[in-house]
């Protein structure tokens, strides 16, 4: 059965597999934007994810990120429409299940679960490089410690975390601003190099195919602006709050990433140094060791901030899957347990955070390619779902409606399909293999139990 998910709460079954206690609506646009900006974590993306991109694209990195940003605007419109139509902490899978069917939603859940488990350790292990200014730590150990600390923070209530992460966010914006100012002040080349992608001073211009292939990683750089849809069950008036939060986050976060990248490209002593991607060394060369240490510590704080918010977001995904009965009874009951003191899904938080700590010891290169493919595939699924999201009863549903529908989601889908076609074959095979295993679980466990398993329910906005 792949029918559209029911919008009504399911009848409780004799196995006591009832829905868990509801989350608390406690945040508005400001709190939501602080949390989603912290999850996009522009500074940690700038200093952890961008350096490998500089090694691949050189002076074309800024152009690629800008193109990814334009694509993300269209993706944001798709998310905002579906996220306000189906306000649920399940995010993509709840939206897609409701408008396109349970099986499609299940595949979206598997992709999102893969992303939420892998991205935090990729970011967290980067903390060691920037803490090296004051202390030497083994990268996997440092990453694991960050994940454990972030898990403890994730157990607190959402409003407290919104302000805590907001303080960290301020530090990372300061770090990005310092880097941008230093780069522009030490500019070595004209802005025209931004439109002529090259790796070295004497190499030929990179091809358009190379730039397009880099878009998957660039999407990863900007990934996180969609967190608002995961927090929609904890937002006041989500149909007004979600769209504003998504778009403000993308705009602010995109600028915090792109402006320093432009400055770094213009201010690098030479393109070989730029391709090496050692941003801490460049900052020290521009300013001296004192400023370099300050920026490095701000970056380390940004990475911790990112890990905290990702644990918060990702635990909500597991919580929602428990409420929607994706697992056997005992597992669903555990993942759906909500702390009465802090209002957080504490079991799901522990599972997400401690799993991330363990993954810090897995080679990061093994995880990064699959993550980029999964992000592009997830956005593709949402774009396709937005094409069918205005049929039947959903045509008149209360939701923010995107402009230029259906042209916009069609163009997004075409662009993402092409981007996926340019990725490494092994990364594609691994991702498809995971989806095949997920399909087997669907076929043999979820599909035979349509009235008891994978019953996706969006929480009504009126529930306060």
DSSP 301-317: HHHHHHHHHHHHHHHHH
Residue 395: strand pairing partners: none
Residue 12, pLDDT score: 35
How far, in Å, are 10, 285, 438, 453 from residue 441 at the CA level?
Answer: 22, 54, 5, 12
Report yes or no: 253 and 181 within 8 Å, Cβ to Cβ: no
- Spatial CA neighbour of 71 closest among 200, 289, 221, 194: 221
For the chain, list residues with pLDDT below 70: 1-26, 38-39, 89-90, 157-165, 201-204, 396-397, 457-464
Cβ partners under 8 Å of residue 50, min gap 6: 61, 65, 221, 257, 261, 277, 279
- Joined tokens for residue 6: 């029911």
The pTM (predicted TM-score) of the whole model is 0.78
* 237 part of a folded domain: yes
Residue 160, pLDDT score: 58
* 460 part of a folded domain: no
Other beta carbons within 10 Å of 123: 26
* 454 part of a folded domain: no
Q: What is the DSSP letter of 444?
A: I
Buried b (16+ CB within 10 A) or exposed e, 33-49: bbbbbbbbbbbbbbbbb
First vs last C-alpha separation in the chain: 33
* 7 part of a folded domain: no
Give the DSSP H/E element, type plus range, for residue 71. Answer: helix 61-85
Helix (H, G, I), strand (E, B) or coil at 145: helix
- Strands (E) across 304-385 are located at none
* CATH code, 282: 1.20.1740.10
* 89 part of a folded domain: yes
Cβ partners under 8 Å of residue 435, min gap 6: 107, 110, 111
Give the side-chain half-sphere CA count within 13 A for 18: 7
* 5 part of a folded domain: no
Report yes or no: 40 and 228 within 8 Å, Cβ to Cβ: no
Q: What is the DSSP letter of 125?
A: T
Q: How far is CA 425 from the centre of its chain?
A: 23
What is the rounded distance in angstroms from the CA atom of residue 60 to the CA atom of residue 79?
28
Cis preceding linkage at 11, omega within 30: no
* 255 part of a folded domain: yes
* 464 part of a folded domain: no
Opening angle at CA 39, ends 369 and 305, nearest 5: 105
Q: What is the DSSP letter of 446?
A: I
Total domains in the fold of the chain: 1
Residue 27: strand pairing partners: 235
- Joined tokens for residue 63: 């152009």
Residue 22, pLDDT score: 56
Residue 25, pLDDT score: 61
Full domain range(s) for residue 62: 29-446
Residue 1, pLDDT score: 35
Report yes or no: 106 and 426 within 8 Å, Cβ to Cβ: no
Helix (H, G, I), strand (E, B) or coil at 438: helix
């Amino acid at each position: 059965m792949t029918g559209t998910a029911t919008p009504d709460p399911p009848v409780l079954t004799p196995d006591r597999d009832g829905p868990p206690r509801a989350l608390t609506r406690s945040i508005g646009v400001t709190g939501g934007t602080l949390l989603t900006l912290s999850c996009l974590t522009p500074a940690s993306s700038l200093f952890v994810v961008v350096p490998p991109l500089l090694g691949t694209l050189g002076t074309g990195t800024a152009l690629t990120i800008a193109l990814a940003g334009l694509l993300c605007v269209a993706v944001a419109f798709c998310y905002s429409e579906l996220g306000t139509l189906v306000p649920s902490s399940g995010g993509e899978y709840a939206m897609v299940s409701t408008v396109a069917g349970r099986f499609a939603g299940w595949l979206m859940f598997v992709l999102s679960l893969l992303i939420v488990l892998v991205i935090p350790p990729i970011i967290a292990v980067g903390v060691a490089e920037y803490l090296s200014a004051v202390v030497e730590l083994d990268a996997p150990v440092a990453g694991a410690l960050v994940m454990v600390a972030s898990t403890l923070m994730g157990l607190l209530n959402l409003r407290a975390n919104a302000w805590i992460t907001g303080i960290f966010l301020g530090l990372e914006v300061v770090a990005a601003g310092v880097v941008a100012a230093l780069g522009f002040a030490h500019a070595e080349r004209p802005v025209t190099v931004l439109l002529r992608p090259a790796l070295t001073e004497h190499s030929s211009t990179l091809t358009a195919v190379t730039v397009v292939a880099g878009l998957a990683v660039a999407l990863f750089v900007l990934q996180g602006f969609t967190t608002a849809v995961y927090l929609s069950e904890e937002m006041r008036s989500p149909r007004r709050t979600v769209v504003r939060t998504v778009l403000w986050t993308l705009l602010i976060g995109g600028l915090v990433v792109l402006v320093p990248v432009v400055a770094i490209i213009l201010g690098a002593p030479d393109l070989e140094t730029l391709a090496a991607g050692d941003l801490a060394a460049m900052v020290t060369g521009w300013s001296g060791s004192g400023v370099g240490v300050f920026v490095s510590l701000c970056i380390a704080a940004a990475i911790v901030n990112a890990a905290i918010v990702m644990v918060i977001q990702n635990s909500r995904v597991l919580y929602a899957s428990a409420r929607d009965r994706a697992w056997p009874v005992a597992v669903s009951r555990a993942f759906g347990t909500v702390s009465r003191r802090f209002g957080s899904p504490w079991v799901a938080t522990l599972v997400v955070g401690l799993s991330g700590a363990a993954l810090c010891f897995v080679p990061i290169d093994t995880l990064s390619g699959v993550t980029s493919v999964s992000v592009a595939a997830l956005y593709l699924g949402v774009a396709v779902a937005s094409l069918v999201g205005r049929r039947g009863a959903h045509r008149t549903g209360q939701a923010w409606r995107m402009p230029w529908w259906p042209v916009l989601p069609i163009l997004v889908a075409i662009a993402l399909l092409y981007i996926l076609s340019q990725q490494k074959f092994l990364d594609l095979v691994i991702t498809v293999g995971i989806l095949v295993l997920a399909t087997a679980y669907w076929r043999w466990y979820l599909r035979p139990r349509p009235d008891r398993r994978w019953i996706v329910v969006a929480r009504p906005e009126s529930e306060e």
